[in-house]
Amino acid sequence: MSSSTSARTDDPPAVVLTGITKRFPGVVANSDVHLTVRRGEVHALCGENGAGKSTLMKILYGMQAPDEGTIEVNGEQVRFRTPSDAIKAGIGMVHQHFMLADNLTVQENVVLGAEALHGIGQKARRRIIELSGRTGLNVDPGVLVEQLGVADRQRVEILKVLYRGAKVIILDEPTAVLVPQEVNELFDTVRGMQEQGYTFLFISHKLDEVRAIADSVTVIRRGTTVGSADPRTVSSRQLAEMMVGSELPSPETRESTVTDKVVLDVKGVRLLTPDGARPILEDVDLVVRSGEVVGIAGVEGNGQTELVETIMGMRKAGSGTISLLGRDLTKLGTLARREAGIGYVPEDRHRHGLLLTQPLWYNRILGHQTRRPAAKGIWLDTDGAKKDTERIVADFDVRTPGIDVPAAALSGGNQQKLVVGRELSGDPVLLIASHPTRGVDVGAQALIWDEIKRARAAGLAVLLISADLDELIGLSDTIKVMLRGRLVADADPNTVTPEDLGSAMTGAGSTSAAVHETVAVEEGEN
């Protein structure tokens, strides 16, 4: 899959990092990192979220100084104090989160900070047009960046780097924001530029992509490099095991723990769009029993989000009842429902799960502000909350320098572990987990799976919504397929394949005995 290596072995390597160590208060972000990037290759750096990839790249780009270790560029030892030193040495960085000013034009964004090269006028414009071709960017430099799509913004970022004369380009998680077709276009651009002699450092934890584009791979785990691999011979699973440092987890559950005790009983729930024009949920009946994981499969936008929000009381159902352990919750608010024993892992942890600017212990209180240990009577119990946050950090392996750092300082996986830990506190009887492992690394994924399995064995009822069909099939005791606001089919997780589920989700009808339709799907309805 990878293009032929154009690296010449007789030249000194483009970049050599030796024994890099970087400490922050409370954590060691990098320890004794070794990395060699040959000239003209695409070198991938793989690791879980929070493994220290970004810190390492910030060091290479001069944004942070290493505590120990040396950097060599083209055989010469260098010392970067600021990014401009790195730029002078021919190193450029395309950040994961675009560093663009939306309200400025493409040209202004590109020349900013490098005005000395070609000014900010016509000369710069000509140079930008000249370089645009190499990145596949096909817009006028006078266009505002806010009018560009994500793929073009990324091209502007690459253009910025080229304009400054970079020969070594760091791409930090470049595909995280792209759709598959754009990823292919990006790879075409990278290969084209590789042929023109550019060197790429490609940071990613998406292993299929790494194997598709890289000439060599270095794996980083817990802040240190653990080895390198040849992407042509290594499998994604082997790479993943290098990243995690152990055998990969699987979501598989072993024996059934389902009991007869009905925990959640949803009957005939209907929900209309806010303008009342169209139903989002129609006659949804759903039962989740103690010790059971009920998975809901469905293409996004078919009512799963709304179903969860209706059960949580964030939306008011038009008709139907929702009861928990026989108690009617239909008229209660969200807080009362949580107090009745529902834990909720929201699908978007940044919008609904956490206050990013607040410390971890503060986030622990959210949703538990009326219950022990976060509250005593009408007062908040901050000591209790802090103590319990320490427990979550320890039990759920939340990697953090302390419980007083803001939630934003944690990587996505660690944020999610905190949310799951919080929602499993206070002995809930039902857990609603929406995409519980979306956007988290393999290690965090395994931990979250284990915790859900353990809680299930202890009698927790779980309603699981996930777009990851392997996760859904592996964890669930029962799978229901949701299409256009209805639960249209049941599937048996022991026998169903992701392909079967996929066709049921799109309404193509059942293709397997493992999926049996419960509602006739009306064709032609929009």
- Residue ranges that bind other proteins, judged by CB under 8 A: 63, 82-84, 87, 93, 95, 98-104, 108-109, 111-115, 119-120, 147, 160
Smallest distance from the beta carbon of 88 to other proteins, in angstroms? 10
Q: Tell the smallest beta-carbon distance from residue 114 to other proteins (Å).
A: 7
- Compare residues 98 and 287 and give the one whose CB is closer to other proteins: 98
DSSP letter for each residue of 228-268: EE-TTT--HHHHHHHHHTSPPP-----S----S-EEEEEEE
We find the least distance from the C-beta atom of residue 148 to other proteins, in angstroms, to be 12
Distance of alpha carbon 113 from the chain centroid: 32
In this structure, the number of other CB atoms found within 10 A of the CB of residue 283 comes to 15
Paired tokens of 455: 């809680």
At closest approach, how far in Å is the CB of 94 from other proteins?
11
Nearer to other proteins, 119 or 133 (CB): 119
* 41 vs 172, beta carbon nearer other proteins: 172
Nearest to 173 by CA among 205, 146, 130, 135: 205
Residue 451: half-sphere exposure toward Cβ, Cα within 13 Å: 25
Q: Between 103 and 196, name the residue whose CB sits nearer to other proteins.
A: 103
318 burial level (CB within 10 Å; 0-12, 13-18, 19+):
middle
Closer to other proteins by Cβ: residue 159 or 463: 159
Please state the closest distance from residue 135 (CB atom) to other proteins, in A.
18
Q: Select 141 or 443, whichever has its Cβ closest to other proteins.
A: 141
d(CA 344, CA 386): 21
**Strand duo 515-517 + 342-345: pairing:** unpaired
Q: Which distant-in-sequence residues (6+ apart) come within 8 Å of 4 by Cβ?
A: none
- Please answer whether residues 375 and 382 qualify as being in contact, where contact means their C-beta atoms are separated by less than 8 angstroms: no
**Is 200:171 a contact under the CB 8 Å cutoff?**
yes
Smallest distance from other proteins to CB 144, Å:
8
How does DSSP classify residue 522? P
How many Å is the Cα radius of gyration of the chain? 26
- Closest separation between CB of residue 112 and other proteins, Å? 5
CB of 84 to other proteins, least distance (A): 4
State both tokens at 494.
């022991």
Q: Kind of pairing, strands 293-297 and 461-465?
A: parallel
Give the DSSP H/E element, type plus range, for residue 208: helix 207-213
Quick one: 123 or 516, whose CB is closer to other proteins? 123
Q: Which is nearer to other proteins, 46 or 110 (CB)?
A: 110
